[in-house]
Amino acid sequence: SAPPTFRPGLEGVPATQSAICDIEGQRGLLTYRGYPIEQLASYSSFLETAYLLIWGELPTIFQLREFEQEVQMHRRVSFRIRDMMKCFPASGHPMDALQASAASLGLFYSRRALYDPQYITEAVVRLIAKIPTMVAAFQLIRKGQDPIQPRDDLAYSANFLYMLTEREPDPLAARIFDACLILHAEHSLNASTFSARVTASTLTDPYAVVASAVGTLAGPLHGGANEDVLDMLDQIGSIDQVEPWLDRAIAQKQKIMGFGHREYRVKDPRAVILQGLAEELFQRFGHDAMYDVALKLEEVAERRLGPKGIFPNVDFYSGLVYRKLGIPRDLFTPIFAIARTAGWLAHWKEQLGANRIYRPSQIYTGPTERGWLPLESRP
Ligand code: CMC
């Protein structure tokens, strides 16, 4: 038979079967368990969407209230983890702090009952509840403060913003933030989710699954791009600099951050929604001149890159939303991780349901068999 073809980046190679999320890249359609992302972003909450992703159906009111309550009860993290975080260098990247803290959860909870539905539910609840607390804790710790405790009267997103900023957020800000989490919760077999599934397939614990995915999300070609977009807009500086900057960047074969996607040949539907959310925030809390630079860049880039199917992706407008909410730039990717934890856990659970360890093959390109030479005989 013909030798298998090698596809760099596994482009177009199905690596799993999955019933969680579907993307139609030509139409710009994204669905979670069949529900279009536009509907979920408008009507759902992040916790309801997480439930849908992980258990496959929208919860009943009883199931939702129970899940919300469980998550609320598990928001606190052990003082041992907080103390460990105090030893992290304040100059370190919050994604590295999050990866280490997420992995440390495995030290506290047994890994014996992987296939017990109760164990799965508890792990889901703990991770969804504790990841935001750890992100907020590192933010305060690196400023030299003690982390503050979660507040039981605040819902998921409002509580996270409270723990991060030490102020109760405006309800509109909390609602928009929650919608951002919904938009980032899942996106089929992206790099971090693939990483989560590979880790899950060894039957290790879910904390290791999430920690490996956090490490994968951190890179600038994946989740890290949202931080880089604002640096890029800063560098461009003003509307009149957009065109010459883009000409130079394209001539130097530089990747434009926040543009392009393996799956979409049109504008990412999440970017469309995020742009709307950004505009809602500007109306309420004041305009941001950086948005004008972004709009101009999208317009000019559409002419230059649009014909190649390169349009804004989810990261292009998310940074502008977070900036308006007063969130520091290096927390954008950890926030992506808070949201994507729901998707990773859905894939963990699905992987366990039909598991076979990932062990692909390779095409060997090294030297053929040869003999070892003593040191003095080497050329
Ligand atoms: N700017 C300029 N050219 C681009 C860009 C871009 N952002 N993205 C792709 N291209 C060009 C690329 O140069 C190549 O051109 P050619 O065929 O002439 O060599 C062609 O499009 C195909 O690019 P590729 O890098 O082979 O595409 P990929 O599917 O391997 O990569 C990507 C996808 C998202 C990594 C890439 O588009 C990229 O690096 N974008 C910038 C980083 C970014 O915004 N990442 C966030 C992705 S969305 C959120 C997430 O999943 O984390």
Domain ranges of the chain: 17-218+331-353, 225-324
Closest CA to 56 of 186, 176, 178, 181: 186
- Set 187, 261, 268, 347: catalytic member: 261
Query: Using CA atoms, how far apart are residues 45 and 179, in angstroms rounded to an integer?
Result: 7
Q: What is the pLDDT of residue 130?
A: 98
- From the CA of 32, how far away is ligand 1's center (Å)? 24
Q: Find out whether 136 and 160 touch, Cβ atoms under 8 Å.
A: yes
Tell me the pLDDT tens digit for each residue of 248-289: 999 999 999 999 999 999 999 999 999 999 999 999 999 999
Give the number of the atom of ligand 1 that is nearest the alpha carbon of residue 258.
44
CA distances from 281 to 256, 272, 323, 362 (A): 25, 15, 10, 49
- From the CA of 10, how far away is ligand 1's center (Å)? 15
**Residue range 225-324, CATH number:** 1.10.230.10
Residues in the chain with pLDDT values less than 70? none
Q: What is the pLDDT of residue 224?
A: 85
Residues at CB less than 6 angstroms from ligand 1: 9, 190, 221-223, 225, 255-262, 305, 308, 310, 313-315
Q: What is the token pair recorded at 329? A: 């730039």
Q: Find out whether 293 and 236 touch, Cβ atoms under 8 Å.
A: yes
| Residues facing residue 24 across a β-bridge | 29
- From the CA of 262, how far away is ligand 1's center (Å)? 7
Q: What is the pLDDT of residue 227?
A: 87
Q: Which CATH class is domain 17-218+331-353?
A: mainly alpha
Q: What is the token pair recorded at 304? A: 């230059």
Query: Using CA atoms, how far apart are residues 189 and 137, in angstroms rounded to an integer?
Result: 30
Sort 372 into a burial class: Cβ within 10 Å, 0-12 / 13-18 / 19+.
exposed
Q: What is the pTM of this model?
A: 0.95
Tell me the pLDDT tens digit for each residue of 176-230: 999 999 999 999 999 999 999 999 999 999 999 999 999 999 998 999 888 899 9
Q: What is the pLDDT of residue 1?
A: 73
CA distances from 164 to 109, 324, 328 (A): 26, 15, 10
What is the DSSP code (8-state) at residue 375? G
